[in-house]
């Protein structure tokens, strides 16, 4: 029996565009479970990132309800949502979004100090996480512009995890990286998921999607289907085949 972490009911999001309403998400009923590595796939414009940002409280839906645990986050103000994000969520962005004027370590601590006042404990945890994502000590005091894209994205993951969030959201985390760096980032996410970290990742890359145990496919703002791939193991052809068939069925 899986524990539900996030539940949506009739979740809709519309944007006004040139006087006409564009319905990006349409009445989505969805449950996300604790410990899962959920992957949201779909073509460009399907509403993947919009769904991710709504689920994470980064954006508010036009209609519907999102419940996180037993808390309805759709009722929260923008400051309420900010508090919700800092307490429960971590984010990894496609464009990384580290603050250029702060060192890599400070980028992580700026997120951590929002929740905890214990600088020493935070710095220790940050160093453990940096070690876990294979960022050497001498790099953490550099500025984001002085390190590689892969290192920066892994530092972004450390920032997302510094507060031990209940759920980690990742929006195309390998989108701005080369193949090797992208793989390192995926390994990092997989590794944390194996340690129990819930992950929701948006991607349109099949190689990335394979890391998830649950695949949701979005088309025109509707969850068209889902696929349970089971636990990730490297070089598992059966999982690869299952995912390919699912995506083919979905019209990928």
Partner 1 sequence: MYRNILLARSNIRKAKGQTAAIIVLVLLSSLMMNLWLMLSMDYRKNFERCHDRLNDGHVNIAAYVTDDEFKNFISDTLEERTDITDYTVSDAFCEPMSFEYNGGEISQLGVLLEKEDALSRNVGRFEITEDSTYKSGIYLPMLYGTGNNYSVGDTVKITLLGEDFEYTVCGFFNSAMNGSHNCGMMALLLTEDKFNEFSEEAAALKSVYVSARVNDISKCEEIATELKDETAKEFPDVVVTSNDYKLVSTSRYISQMICAGILSAMAFLVLLIGVVVIASNIANYIQENMQNLGALKAVGYTSGQLVSALLAQFAGVSAIAAVIGTVLSYCVFPAVNEMMIAQTGIPYSVRFQPLPVLFTIIFITGIVSAAVYFSAKKIKKIEPITAMRQGISTHNFKKNHLPLEKTSLPINAALAMKTTLSGLKQNITVCVTMLVLSLVLVFSATSFRNTIVDFQPMVEMIAGEFADSAINVNPNREDELVSVLENDSRVEKFYMFTNNNMEVQHVDGLSLFVSVVGDCSKMNNQSMFIEGRYPKYGNEFSIAAKYAKDNDIKIGDEIALKVGNSEEKYIVSGFTQCSNNLGKDCVITREGYEKISSLPNVTYYIDFAEDIDIDDFNSELSDRFGSDVNAIQNIQSILESTGGVYVMLMTFLVIAIVIISCIVIIFVMYLLVRTMLNNKKRDYGILKALGYTTTQLVVQTAMSFMPSVIISSAVGIAVSMRLINPLMAVFLSGIGVVKGTFIIPVELCIISGIVLVIFAFGAACLMSLRVKKIAPRELLIGE
What is the rounded CA–CA span in Å between residue 102 and residue 110? 9
Instruction: Dig out the tokens for 171 from the structure.
Output: 């929006």
Nearest to 189 by CA among 198, 176, 178: 198
User: Which residue's CB is nearer to partner 1, number 3 or number 95?
Assistant: 95
User: Which residue's CB is nearer to partner 1, number 33 or number 84?
Assistant: 84
What is the rounded CA–CA span in Å between residue 205 and residue 172? 8
Least Å distance, CB 235 to partner 1, is: 31
User: Which residue's CB is nearer to partner 1, number 80 or number 230?
Assistant: 80
Which residues contribute to the site for partner 1 (CB under 8 A)?
A: 44-50, 53, 58-59, 78-79, 82-87, 89, 91, 93-95, 97-103, 105-106, 109-111, 113-115, 119, 123, 141, 143, 145, 159, 171
Least Å distance, CB 12 to partner 1, is: 16
How many Å separate Cα 226 from the centre of its chain?
Answer: 18
Least Å distance, CB 84 to partner 1, is: 8
User: Which residue's CB is nearer to partner 1, number 16 or number 44?
Assistant: 44
Contact 107, 98 (CB under 8 A): yes
Least Å distance, CB 16 to partner 1, is: 15
Least Å distance, CB 232 to partner 1, is: 25
Least Å distance, CB 136 to partner 1, is: 17
Tokens 């790099």 belong to which residue?
139
User: Which residue's CB is nearer to partner 1, number 185 or number 229?
Assistant: 185
What is the rounded CA–CA span in Å between residue 169 and residue 157? 10
User: Which residue's CB is nearer to partner 1, number 114 or number 132?
Assistant: 114
Helices (H), the chain: 48-55, 78-88, 104-112, 119-132, 149-161, 179-194, 206-209, 237-250
Q: Which residues contact 194 (CB under 8 A, 6 or more apart)?
A: none
């Amino acid at each position: 029996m899986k524990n539900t972490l996030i539940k949506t009911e009739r979740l809709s999001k519309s944007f006004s565009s040139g006087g006409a309403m564009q319905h990006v998400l349409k009445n989505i009923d969805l449950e996300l479970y604790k410990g899962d590595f959920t992957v949201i796939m779909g073509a460009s414009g399907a509403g993947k990132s919009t769904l991710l940002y709504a689920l994470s409280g980064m954006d508010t839906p036009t209609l519907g309800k999102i419940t996180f645990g037993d808390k309805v986050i759709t009722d929260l103000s923008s400051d309420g949502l900010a508090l919700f994000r800092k307490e429960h969520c971590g984010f990894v962005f496609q464009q990384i979004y580290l603050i250029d004027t702060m060192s890599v370590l400070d980028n992580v601590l700026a997120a951590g100090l929002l929740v905890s006042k214990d600088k020493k404990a935070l710095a220790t945890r940050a160093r453990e996480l940096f070690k876990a994502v294979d960022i050497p000590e001498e790099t953490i005091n550099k500025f984001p512009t002085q390190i590689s894209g892969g290192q920066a994205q892994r530092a972004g993951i450390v920032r997302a995890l510094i507060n031990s969030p209940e759920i980690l959201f990742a929006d195309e985390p390998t989108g701005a990286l080369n193949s090797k760096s992208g793989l390192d980032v995926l390994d990092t996410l997989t590794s944390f998921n194996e340690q129990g970290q819930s992950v929701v990742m948006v991607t349109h890359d099949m190689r990335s999607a394979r890391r998830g145990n649950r695949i949701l496919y979005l088309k025109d703002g509707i969850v068209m289907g889902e696929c349970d791939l089971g636990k990730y193991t490297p070089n598992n052809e059966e999982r690869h085949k299952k995912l390919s068939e699912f995506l083919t069925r979905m019209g990928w």
